[in-house]
Structure 1
């Protein structure tokens, strides 16, 4: 289109310019059009705001051909403004800052340079990639793009000099050499000093540059960095003065390095090289593990790092340290073992994946133990998988049946076979590798590879609940839902060492941002039980966590764990630099592209978009512009959906509409149509736990591997349809292409889902915005500014464990759990009848609950909760007294008596349609499904009247 200049007189608020001719895309000059450009000005005290609108005044026509000819396609409005030769377009003013909101102040400081210069109305707006304080041009965009740069785990440039001086300091093999203690301590002191130098040279001199609220935010961040430095230095000092801590640190590094060199890690496994933030996090946490009197024992250390940065390795190293340290200082641990660390997740896929990763470390730890029996003991270091019965059997009888089916090449839904490959050598663990012990409650997992380092001995891995209770593992990995079983079971006492030994002293909560909403509220209630059962002599367990997206973490952690929080690495003054994490300006980026569905239905736009992406990848390869290696990341198109309903509808599109559209595109490009070779892969809650590891393995197959050996390697998948299950735990490095079908419900979900692609390779994320949804349209209009500071937009999570409805659901379960497991003589099922509210232990338990409520809710729920506690205790006391007076029974949990009758009970499953007793408290069997289900039958009635 030809350029048009519109000038407003000083006193005018608006102006309209008639455009009577323009040049079309095919070069034809169109004259006598009814097209106009309208400009409106709003005068402000410091800047004027202009609204520019392009209006097509051509009358509508019933004739489709004539209507199309009267439309303008791919139009663009460009606004240029200069003042004395300098760019004159200023950014939109920021909203006023709340001085009491620390998170908002910190975000305002970190992202102060990310400004918005224009907003679209029904369209996106864009400007230059790296703008300054002003820009000279803004323009509309139907396909807005934004580059989101990656994060370098190498850290600040100061670390370059550190590595030159200490080239081995980040090598786990060096840190794991016990005889090199003096050299290691010197290297760690230099490492801490490097961080101190960054604080002194980069932060301290700049505090005075900020004014008002930003100065306050800068001061707070500076203090947090200094506090973090002090804790890191205390960790180094502790390793120097505490022999057991040093030995455990060296052994943990040796174990991490050993598992990194296992043949299962790949064709050429490499020694472990720590990333600076991983090593610093270890040094930060160790003092609180070794010395319970440390103030940071009651602080939750939250590891915040973008997806794929290596958070898992950091807390696995701390897991190994905790296991080895307790073996070195506690003789009972060396002889009988016990649970040292509890690691919890929220999703099945994530739990099973991390279980497979942890298996390599725990096996390495146990191999080291066997080589050092005098110091580490005879009790094996083991790993337990603690998930629901839908994934793994609860009883050995069920496990034996499942193993028999595995030996017969059948596929049971619930099975102990959760490791498909040996974590040491990588050989396939077929069904015959799982062997149930005929006498003991144990499933032996034996690798048949004669060259495996395990030497034919069973792997230290437990996957059946009964064997976990019989031999509590050193590391227990489970879903957070599983701990809803605490009020129901007595054998769970062994996990918390309530009868003998020391309780778990380290609790790891991964993907903290997922514990929100109803799940978070229920988890916060049950966390009261877990925390109390792990507390001995007033010493609470150390809690650490990790996440890639979090907002207002302090409030969430306080509500869930009743602890303060330190986010590590603590932010500096710029989002691009926290010393341990810096913006990667040279590595691969992730490009986000927005596409609206304006003028078309969302389904049509989806199939057209997916078809064009799939066909383009094939065309690039067929025309020689890309080879198998370069095009492979974009060969598989991952499509993300916000609901299972939308995902189900897309399944049909991928099989019918997409191939048909690809045929049309191939004709336009004059290339052969790409033939889709396989059915769409679905990653959602509808897939069983058994299928998930196999699906992830299939997604790892590449084009070049398939072309080299098509008989052994499966062909790469064409399309993947995913729900929010893909947001966490899916680590497939080859994936580089994603279509996001509609803006996800939260920014955290958007970041997590889109981060599944482009990990170490350039990534392309195409977000398809539904024009009929105001929220989608708003994100499209603000595309550039939103993607320029994604983490600034992460919402606060909602966690209200002591709200009235949450108390209705499970407060009684919290009280019953603590009374049952902590009051002597009340643990058996009929102990509910012997409840005495005046007993000293009961009084102390109730006081503990009241104190926690007052702390986490700032007193707002304290009075109402205290009233509810009294009501629950009063009712329980009344029922137990009635049972004793009538020589009857009162059980904790529902149990069938002879002749089909039900013995009186205190609690029943909330999920049961027929509870079995009107007085029983309905108690959730899981923290996720908090409402009972309603069964229904759909019948088809066929009329058989005589008229037919």
Structure 2
């Protein structure tokens, strides 16, 4: 079909909310039924033809020239801040160009003038937000600059002022290993900016950096950050980079164990995928922490889903179908994994497909075993690779479970560094007083630690005190916890918002997670008599 251009009235995607960002892309030449429509323009003539399949060419997002060195490995070197220097002027230049954006382009009809006025107001509001983000990035870089002046080299810092920079270079070293395993070697610019903008919220928890906690930083730190990008755009790597930074920062500032981050997802399958992905990044961070001599326990992940997916307690049916590490060595897994009833338990509860430290590249498999005695009968995943092939096994003289907990009882008692689970676990907190107390015990409220196993002990009933005594002495069977689990605050790292299919579901997730935040912040959780021994 051929027609003059001046009489051709384009259709408009009226279901899309108008925005100066994409108003120019909302028109299409015609609507096809059981097919698509393509348009060719020759002077003042438009030619419309049908196609067998609808087609839309999505405008590409082209990054602007910025001069920032995005190589992750190079950003783990002492001179990394010079490589980031072009970021601030490039952002400022982008703001200048964006402020001149023609917001009226693509607007038509009788309300075009009114819409343009609204779009201009929205642009001005967005510019204020972008300038605030620029300020957060500037503050993050300033903290790193100040910290580098006092950095004493890799490892624990002689001055607490050196902690943020050590966490920064260690994080990049860890993420460089993660990237190498996936075939890339650079940050995307938005990932780098996101991490830098988030640094003030965490680094200012160190007393020596309190002066950086300005009203602007406080506003940015206390706001929910929505990290939006299309699938495959790099959202997960961005918040995993921030997660690794926070884990390293916590160890360096004296938090030797306990939850540093809470991640929750709406779907169990999605949760398992993200758990494996997160654990791989944490394994790289743990290798870096160990080799740099940072204090504290190994970074660990609690897979908190329970129910039919993982055991809730050590008394769960089938729990003893998993052999102890003393009875059956993990090295004999190939022959043992077909033995019933262990085979059935393994099929239900083996959640990792490969070792997060070595990737099971040597052809080794994973084993499930219980570790009684000093291990507290915890259910663990064991890598069967030889020491020369696995950096985790290389550390220990005897088989040691990977830092990955799947049993609710173990998670509550061992307080993993990262708690990752589904929102229904949060919603179940109000159903049991004992569960509430055990849950908040992970966040620093457990009063005791069992000396033999290192497990937290939270008395909930009067009979829990029978035959027990406590002491501040390290060698006592039940000793008072001395605060290494609850040092300052913890981080809430949410799942990706794009995975929440319904707005009411997102509201419910927010309600439960922020309820937890409120209780932790107010520190109103207390044990009533006779359990109050503070």
Q: Report the TM-score, using the length of structure 1 for normalisation.
A: 0.42
Counting only pairs closer than 5 Å after superposition, residues 269-348 of structure 1 correspond to structure 2 as 270=183, 272-291=185-204, 293=213, 294-330=218-254, 333-334=255-256, 337-348=257-268
Q: Name the SS of the counterpart of 1:495 in structure 2.
A: helix
Rounded Cα–Cα distance in structure 2 between residues aligned with 1:503 and 1:464: 26
* Partner residue in 2 for 1:929: none
Question: Residue 391 of structure 1 corresponds to which residue in structure 2?
Answer: 309
Instruction: Give the Å deviation of 1:470.
Output: 1.4
CA apart distance, 1:148:
4.3
Change (3 A) 1:520 1:205: closer
Report the CA distance between 1:395 and its aligned residue. Answer: 1.6
**Aligned residue in 2 for 1:668:** none
Residue among 105, 116, 123 paired with 1:218: 123
Matched with 1:359 is 279
1:361/1:222 CA distance change after superposition, 3 Å = same
Are 1:87 and 1:136, in contact at CA under 8 Å, matched by a contact in 2?
A: no
Deviation at 1:352, TM superposition (A): 0.6
1:464 aligns with 2:407: yes
Contact (CA 8 Å) 1:245, 1:325: kept in 2 or not?
Answer: yes
Q: CA deviation at 1:232?
A: 1.5
Q: Provide the rounded CA distance (Å) in 2 between the counterparts of 1:343 and 1:826.
A: 33
Structure 1 residue 822 corresponds to structure 2 residue 511: no
Q: Distance in 2 between matches of 1:151 and 1:208?
A: 19
Spell out the pairing of 1:188-587 with structure 2 (5 A cutoff).
188-200=84-96, 202-206=97-101, 211-242=116-147, 243-261=162-180, 265=181, 270=183, 272-291=185-204, 293=213, 294-330=218-254, 333-334=255-256, 337-373=257-293, 376-398=294-316, 400-404=319-323, 408=339, 410-412=343-345, 415-427=348-360, 430=365, 433-439=367-373, 440-450=376-386, 451-456=389-394, 457=396, 458=400, 459-487=402-430, 488=432, 489=435, 490-499=437-446, 501-502=486-487, 505-513=490-498, 514=500, 516=502, 519-536=505-522
Q: Give unmatched runs, 5+ long, in structure 1.
A: 1-77, 98-102, 164-168, 538-820, 832-948
Q: Could you say which residue in structure 1 is the equivalent of 2:56?
A: 147
Aligned to 2:143, what secondary structure does the other structure show?
helix
Structure 1 residues 347 and 446, CA, compared in 2 at 3 Å: closer, same or farther? same
Alignment of 1:448-847 (within 5 A): 448-450=384-386, 451-456=389-394, 457=396, 458=400, 459-487=402-430, 488=432, 489=435, 490-499=437-446, 501-502=486-487, 505-513=490-498, 514=500, 516=502, 519-536=505-522, 822-825=525-528
Indicate whether 1:89 and 2:13 are aligned.
no
Contact 1:339 1:473 in 2 (8 A): yes
Distance (Å, rounded) in 2 between the aligned partners of 1:135 and 1:412: 71
1:111 is aligned to 23
How far is the alpha carbon of 1:252 from its aligned partner?
Answer: 1.0
Q: CA 1:289–1:148 in structure 2 vs 1: closer, same or farther (change >3 Å)? A: farther
Could you tell me how far apart the structure 2 residues matched to 1:308 and 1:297 are? 26
Q: How many residue pairs align between the two structures?
A: 428
Residue of structure 1 in register with 2:112 after alignment: none
For residues 91-135 of structure 1, what are the alpha-carbon distances to aligned partners after superposition, in whole Å with 9 as ceiling and x for unaligned? 24786x9xxxxx9343x5423233133335x55552328x89997
Work out the CA distance in 2 between the residues paired with 1:429 and 1:150.
46
Deviation at 1:304, TM superposition (A): 0.6
- Given the superposition, is the C-alpha separation of residues 144 and 246 from structure 1 closer, same or farther in structure 2, using an over 3 Å criterion? same
The Cα of 1:442 is off from its aligned counterpart by 2.3
What is the alpha-carbon distance in structure 2 between the residues aligned to residue 529 and residue 827 of structure 1?
26
Q: Deviations over 1:513-571 (max 9, x none)?
A: 4163553443344234212123147xxxxxxxxxxxxxxxxxxxxxxxxxxxxxxxxxx
CA offsets per residue over residues 572-603 of structure 1, 9 Å max, x none? xxxxxxxxxxxxxxxxxxxxxxxxxxxxxxxx
Q: 2:208: which partner in 1?
A: none
Deviation at 1:338, TM superposition (A): 0.3
Taking a change above 3 Å as real, the CA distance of residues 444 and 530 of structure 1, as seen in their structure-2 partners, is same
| CA shift in 2, pair 1:824/1:466, >3 Å | closer
Q: Deviations over 1:604-656 (max 9, x none)?
A: xxxxxxxxxxxxxxxxxxxxxxxxxxxxxxxxxxxxxxxxxxxxxxxxxxxxx
Structure 1 residues 218 and 518, CA gap change in structure 2 (3 angstroms) = closer
**Which segments of 5 or more consecutive residues in structure 2 lack a partner in the other structure?**
106-115, 148-161, 206-212, 324-335, 447-482
Label 1:356 to 1:104 Cα distance change in 2 as closer, same or farther (>3 A): same
Give 1:865-884 correspondences, 5 Å limit: none
- Compute the displacement of 1:326 (Å): 1.4
Instruction: Give, in whole Å, the separation in 2 of the partners of 1:125 and 1:378.
Output: 61
**RMSD across aligned positions (CA):** 3.2
Q: Contact 1:109–1:214 at 8 Å: present in 2 too?
A: no
